[in-house]
Structure 1
Amino acid sequence: MSKQPQLSLGDLADPSKFSKPIDLDNRPTDGLLASVRDIMLIRYAEEAVAELAIAKEAVCPCHLGIGQEAVAAGVSTVLTPSDRVYGGHRSHAHFLALGGSVDAMFAEILGKVTGASKGMGGSMHLFEPSVGFHGSVPIVGATIPIAAGAALACKMDGKGAVAVAYFGDGACEEGVFHETLNMAAVMKLPVLFVAENNLYSSHLDIGQRQATDSVARFAYAAGIPTRVVDGNDVVAVAQAAEDLVGQARVGGGPGFIEAVTFRWRGHVGPNEDIDVGVRRSPEELAAWKGRDPLARLIQSLVIHRGVTRDQIDSIATKVRSQISRAVEAAREASYPDEHALLDLVYSSGRSVA
């Protein structure tokens, strides 16, 4: 059992803290540059989604996680395609960090037949099991018990695979979250719960919804090992994931990461919505942008590993080019045929007459 967590996040929830370069922990430079690429891919892709929404080309609801990219990028470093990962309504990052198709994501957002869910689901219904991403849904907390079921299947398979459930701090107020933690602990399921605590549920600050700002206390109550980390530090997230996923793979049961971060955009859509919420202000948002996970990682690589700005710019150019091609391919793709609706709702051979 984990040491009892503090009830308050303290400095982790203070945007003026932890803006210093990241401790790279003797990790290979190539792997860290791969994390730079992952974070860039997620951020630039979501910026492109925002532009599509502003232009009204993307008409499905789009929940952006710009500012939170290091969580998915860090956790995904320890996962394999055999693992079973689930997200929620804000899951572009989880999908892309595993290697999900950029083309399929943009096609899905534009409702095209080449999309991840054949153009039928939009931004909140991404799916690519070949890379280990087994789905996202818009209902808050809904994939948490599904991940536990997948973890039970992993345990029965006996091949060392794990399941992962990503969710926000708001999902910790759902009954199914607490029920699933208890079940996972009792059955020692190989599942990692990743709470992306961005301090807001939709539009309301966590201080107005919960008695304390840390959600790790729920995992402690269930006897689940926990790590509370700076979610804007990709190395800290990766270290926590390594420990907990490593334990889960060898029968150690579930683990829980509380990654403290902050989304730069509003709950849904492209705007920053700085006027929404009890205490979200332009000053607070600016302070959190100073804790930018991408800028901090690049700064550390330049200072401590001699990485050049030309190297960083080269990665950025390739990522932006990949995203531009994906957007254009999505624009040119066809919409699903109207008959596909029944094909994807009813199983083959079933009469709908």
Structure 2
Amino acid sequence: MRFLSITSACLMMMGSCTAFAEPLQVQIFNSDGTATQSQYEPPAQAKQPWRIGIAIPHLKDPYWLAASYGAMAEAERLGVQARLVAAQGYTDVTGQLNQLDNLVVEGVDAIVLAAVGPHAQSQKVSKIVEDGTPVIGMINPIETDAVKVRRGISYKILAQKAGEYFKEFARSRPTKIALLPGPAGSGWAEDLEQGFVGAIKDQANIEVVDTKYGDTGKDAQMTLLQNILQAHPDVDYIVGNPVAAEAAPRLLATLANTRTQVVSLIATPPVMNLVEREQVLMFPSDQAALLARLAVDAAVDVLEGRDVPANMGSSITIVTKDNVAIFDRTGTFAPDDYRPVFQVNWN
């Protein structure tokens, strides 16, 4: 187990070099629910070119582009073989299950999995692990005891941190909120709602007037926003997934609505740009690229028999107009010109 100050954390990908913040600050989540802040040193180099499969829900938004970047860049730095597969979204359970089967057939030594849902893959994953291939949980929740090692921040904790900040921001003012967490059944959307609502529930002045779940496609989120603003024209804040946060300022401008403000519960580059323009109030960053990097590190550690903590995640930063100019985006976003890479060192 390595928790040390690192002197360099540089990922080589496609001829470019991106340095992660130094030292690399992480959280170790304990079995009693507490978290310990630590400094982490990743493996310097893999002992052999392990074959690692990386499965994610989709590549349709900047969040998963960042995660794919972090995972594949770290695979290249470590000198392992990696193959990235992406399902078609959170309803594509069959697609992801088939992709897991294909990775096993290709003879991967380990799988890093960001599940499309918390339960749908449980039986499949249990069988994969039982047959000798370790599975590392990445970012999204998956409910199975077969996954012993996970790298991610609970979306509940992420939204809770945002809610705690929001509560201080709202203070005692009467405040009406509409929530758009994301796709029902994804697990992470429910966690976003529970975390944010749990943080503000002791504030009698803050009222959640509407909660609407839906696919994170732009058209679907725009429809939900229109329905909310039609039913609740006096709502003070739209709070939710980043696609809703990206769409809301345009709709509010069209409606000449200067009352309603916007909060994103997940970080994306467009959301950050809107914070810079003061069209989105804030977002919490869970550092998607860094979490994916940690997951690939964990796969190598497990394959090489090193002792690793069961649950590790990044530190959370609340980004507002006051600190967005100095926010280090390295661990959160992919480079602006990055395009998905589906194989590294694969042969």
TM-score, structure 1 length as denominator? 0.33
The structure whose residues are more often helix, as a share, is 1
The structure whose residues are more often strand, as a share, is 2
Q: Using CA pairs under 8 Å that are at least 6 residues apart, name the structure with larger relative contact order, 1 or 2.
A: 1
